[in-house]
Structure 1
Amino acid sequence: MLSIILKEYRQRARGIATLGLIMTYTIILGGVSFFVYLARYTELQTRASTSSQVGLALCITTFIAQMIMSLLLALSLNASTIAHEKDQDTFELLNLTLFKSFEIVLGKYLSSTGFLFLLVITAMPIYALAFTFGGLTTLQFMQLAVVVVGMTLMISALGLMLSLISDDVRTALGRSFFFLITLGAVTLIFGGIMKGALSSTPPVVPIYWLGVFSFLMNPLFSAMEIFNPSVFTWSQGPVTMPFLMNNGLLWIWSALLQTVIAALILLATTVIYPRYRASKAGGVG
């Protein structure tokens, strides 16, 4: 497994595309922060906004931009790992090696996910700008980091599975982005319904659980609670899941659930891999 990880890292390190990706990623995040500061500069001059408000705005916009790019890159990198081997006709050669299925799956997953975390680290200086203005605590910063890690782990595992069951990179990317868009739209809809019901009685049971699932799966809701712990407080009566509401712990439950889902997806991919390999080789799948 270590050999696969080292091979993947060497392949990325030798390509000019890797350097371009890191530079583009950093420039986009820096550009977003710059335009937010530019938009709030007049308010700072006229004292219509405090520096802490500007710092909070910088952090929120940087987080949203980073989350969007992290999700897109997590799908793109992982959905092309095994599918790229098929496009280059090296998938059969990989299967002829002495590596076991779980070593190939974990090696591909750890190498691509590790590269994503490298990109996340490159954004740290941009987040540091928010600290210079105030409005963001170290605890909030760590909570946001946990949210990013949880979502990245889950989406990366999904992309790897779709990469295995797809015949080429184009198909894998199409399926991955379709799932991401669908998940984002569904969780925003039912999460919005759930949030709208906070000022009244809880919705019917199916909608309630869909709303809870949406809160846990969509990182935007976790970010909302991090910056405003009382945003999801019920206004009437007790709640069915007190650990999710009122305590400001949505971010940690969300990250835990997404990590568990990532582990289950990786386990399923490891089980599917030898059967898929046998079916492609003419065996019984």
Structure 2
Amino acid sequence: MNYRHIFHAGNPADVMKHAVLALILDHLRAKPAPFCVLDTHAGIGRYDLTSEQARKTAESDDGIGRLWGRPAPHPGLTPYLDAVQALNPDGSLRWYPGSPRIARAALRPQDRMVLVELHPDDAHSLKAEFTGDRAVSVHQSDAYTALKAHLPPKEKRGLVLIDPPFEQPDEFARMAEGLALAHRRWSTGIFALWYPIKERAAVWRFQDAVEKTGIPKVLIAELTWHPEDTHLRLNGSGLLIVNPPWKLDETLRSMLPALHDTLPSTGGGASVSWLTPEA
């Protein structure tokens, strides 16, 4: 539990992940029925990009910093950029919304959100961030235990975001096992699993493990900004999405290349493909 996201908030991986998250939430809002969001690795909710920790790495400069104050390079990025703007109404970029704030911006009165965070200090900060918000509940718990405790939700519609810090060497295997369990409990839910792209073989093993579960309708979306010639750096990031919204794949096939062209890179690119089609 040593990982602290403040050092990486708003970097290219965050931009890609949160832009897709905002699109999924926008789809859920299109129908009047209530939905629930379960975020299993919630962090602290918002991040101060002017803090000493954030400026130590300055990773946001090559992420949200390349989008802030400019026209959106693709209309699919608008829901995400609107959520960032909502935290920075004075026009200067200070606060970066983590996934809880991205999701909270999308909730309507009939919707709710369950946030799970294991790190005690971060869980305390998260509770303070949403004090008095009746639409949000915060739990200090292990992510994979939370999948058992909170699924299926009473709303029948919604999203589960699984976004680990990848501190554990077996995190890919834990994700695949957690998804299999969660899907058995709630087969109609949308699941979005984020992963880093460092060593391609590890990604292939993870995708193969998910494919072997037999879960249908699994979409893979990836954005890389470096050639994959070394596993000593973060070359890109991916999302494995179960039950993606209708036509999300089409939107991502044009949005992710536009995002790649906007962010600094030494290579890489965008890809969208089906791991398993609809049964």
TM category (shorter chain) comes to: under 0.3
Name the one with the larger strand percent: 2
Normalised TM-score (structure 1) = 0.26
In our comparison, the structure showing a higher alpha carbon Rg is 1
More helix by share: 1
